[in-house]
Amino acid sequence: MSGPSQDAPPVIVGAGPAGLAAAGAFVEAGIHPIVLDESDRPGGQGTRRLTPLLCDKAEPLFGARASRRRQEREAREDHILSLCDYRANTVVWGAFDGGLELLSGGACQDLRYAHLLLATGATDAILPLPGWTLPGVYSLGGAQVALKRHGSFIGRKIVFAGFSPLLYLAAAQYCRLGLREITVLDTTPLRGKLHAAIGMARYAAGTLRQGLSLMAELRRAGVRIRAAAELLAVEGKDHVEAFRFRDAAGREERLDCDAVAIGFGLRPETQLAELAGAAFEFDPVLRHWFPRVSPDGQAGPALWIAGDGARTMGAEGARFAGRLAALSMLQAMGRGEAVKSDEMRRLRRRLEHARRFQLAAAKAFRLPGEMLSRLPGETVLCRCERVTLGEVRAAVPRASGPVEVNRVKAITRCGMGRCQGRYCGVALGEVVAEATGRDLAEVGRLRAQAPIRPIPMSAAMRDAAE
């Protein structure tokens, strides 16, 4: 197949903060990009729009000023998208030399590109716990999506557990909408907290202030906060009934609850980047594999990546990165006259600052990998195929040659299920590293395979036949 001409419109995957900022930069330059997004409404995850069913709840949820700002931003975004070839409800399930595979309204389509920007964001990094497959346990990001998109609380008595700046934010949002029976179990060690505070004071004092005021708000509302908690198990027969943990003083406690939200920071969504040809590197501080990108987000001759899918840095950093990537793409498209080099320099500086802040914070919010080594062998590690920790530990000595995660996956099926390793991959790496006594960087990363989202059999067959 021949590629499209060099002046074909640029293609953006993802209408979150990075994708929308990039679209805005293209529109300013008089170019109308194709914007593909899986959701029915733009906005991404962290900055997801509120369901129209909750239109009267925006003020209590975000505050009067912030909800006005949100409205203005959404109007701006709608205007930008009206000038793009914006395709909502479109799943991108594969990328093959110079083309994307789309699924929309049940039909598959092949889209050739000359310049591609992936802004696919991040999902929660998850560590398993005994009982985490029970109905009522959701990812932390999912608990926020439950509010904003599904207009619902995930339960009546909720435990928010793990570590993440989002932990307190999610709990506060539930609180503002009227839920009172909330407990926050923060697994960050106290020493880590201090480091984080120092890092934040240095790079983002505003974020530190926001964090402190969130905690004060939660305390005033009677929310219980336990620091340096060790998570032990979710209990229940057919759904969540209780949560067991150990507090900072080593005392075990059992909380009655009917829902749990867990999250241990964010991991980048990189399947498409891999299929589109990006190389990867391990970040020893963030402890995840990221696509290798230039300071402007370029990952290949026709490939750019921006936002949390390239480097975790939140919505604001994603906007800088998205805009910078678009400017870099304009240069590559021979439209350099539309780009001001001092703007690019300014964006690069801001991005570097956001990155330093992330690294400072990450030093505190380390994955409690040692938590895994204490979990019983019957704990489910891969929720899709129900592979246990014990099975994975036992498979390590059976793998021949240097053990890496893809071999363990082949033996146990851990990571082969329908979530494609999104929710077991982080823990799988930690477990294999521990069992082999090797560094996390040495045990590799789960390889992506198309389709990265399940597609109808008919579409898959057609594709195999080609």
Partner 1 sequence: MTASAASSSGLFVPIYEVSTELFISLDGLRMPARRGETVIAVLLRNAAALGRSEFDGRSRAGFCLMGACQDCSLWSEDGGRIRACMTMVEDGMALVTAPPLAET
Q: Residues in the site for partner 1, rule: CB under 8 A?
A: 38-40, 45, 51-54, 57, 106, 123-124, 133-139, 141-143, 145-147, 149-156, 177-178, 238-239, 258-259, 269, 383-386, 418-419, 422-423, 453-454, 456-457
Q: How far is the CB of 154 from partner 1 (least distance, A)?
A: 6
Q: How far is the CB of 354 from partner 1 (least distance, A)?
A: 23
Contact 240, 234 (CB under 8 A): yes
Contact 241, 233 (CB under 8 A): no
Q: Which two tokens stand for residue 159?
A: 């435990």
Q: Which is nearer to partner 1, 67 or 436 (CB)?
A: 67
Q: Which two tokens stand for residue 178?
A: 């009227």
Of 355, 367, 356, residue with least CA distance to 312: 355
Residues with Cβ within 8 Å of residue 394, at least 6 apart in sequence: none
Q: Which is nearer to partner 1, 1 or 55 (CB)?
A: 55
DSSP state at residue 358: H
Q: How far is the CB of 40 from partner 1 (least distance, A)?
A: 7
CA 436 to chain centre: 28
CA 382 to chain centre: 18
CA 165 to chain centre: 13
Q: Which is nearer to partner 1, 176 or 348 (CB)?
A: 176
Neighbour count for residue 394 (Cβ, 10 Å): 14
Q: How far is the CB of 279 from partner 1 (least distance, A)?
A: 24
Q: How far is the CB of 422 from partner 1 (least distance, A)?
A: 5
Residues with Cβ within 8 Å of residue 111, at least 6 apart in sequence: 11, 34, 36, 99, 100, 101, 102
Contact 140, 124 (CB under 8 A): yes
Contact 329, 323 (CB under 8 A): no
First CA to last CA distance, the chain: 12
Q: Which is nearer to partner 1, 149 or 407 (CB)?
A: 149
Q: Which is nearer to partner 1, 322 or 425 (CB)?
A: 425
Q: Which is nearer to partner 1, 69 or 150 (CB)?
A: 150
Q: How far is the CB of 53 from partner 1 (least distance, A)?
A: 4
Q: Which is nearer to partner 1, 40 or 337 (CB)?
A: 40
Q: Which is nearer to partner 1, 312 or 328 (CB)?
A: 312
CA 464 to chain centre: 30
List Cα–Cα distances, 47 to 16, 42, 82, in angstroms. Answer: 7, 9, 19
Q: How far is the CB of 317 from partner 1 (least distance, A)?
A: 20
Task: Judge residue 406's burial from the number of C-beta atoms within 10 Å of its C-beta, 0-12 exposed, 13-18 middle, 19 or more buried.
Answer: middle
Q: Which is nearer to partner 1, 53 or 248 (CB)?
A: 53
Q: Which is nearer to partner 1, 38 or 217 (CB)?
A: 38
The structure tokens 């530990």 sit at 393
Q: How far is the CB of 270 from partner 1 (least distance, A)?
A: 13
Q: Which helix (H) or strand (E) holds 409?
A: helix 405-412
DSSP state at residue 5: P
* Strands across the sheet containing 137-139: 137-139, 259-264, 158-163, 182-186, 224-226
Q: Look at strands 34-36 and 85-87 and give their pairing.
A: parallel
Q: How far is the CB of 139 from partner 1 (least distance, A)?
A: 5
Q: How far is the CB of 95 from partner 1 (least distance, A)?
A: 17
Q: Which is nearer to partner 1, 51 or 331 (CB)?
A: 51
Contact 271, 420 (CB under 8 A): yes
Q: How far is the CB of 419 from partner 1 (least distance, A)?
A: 4
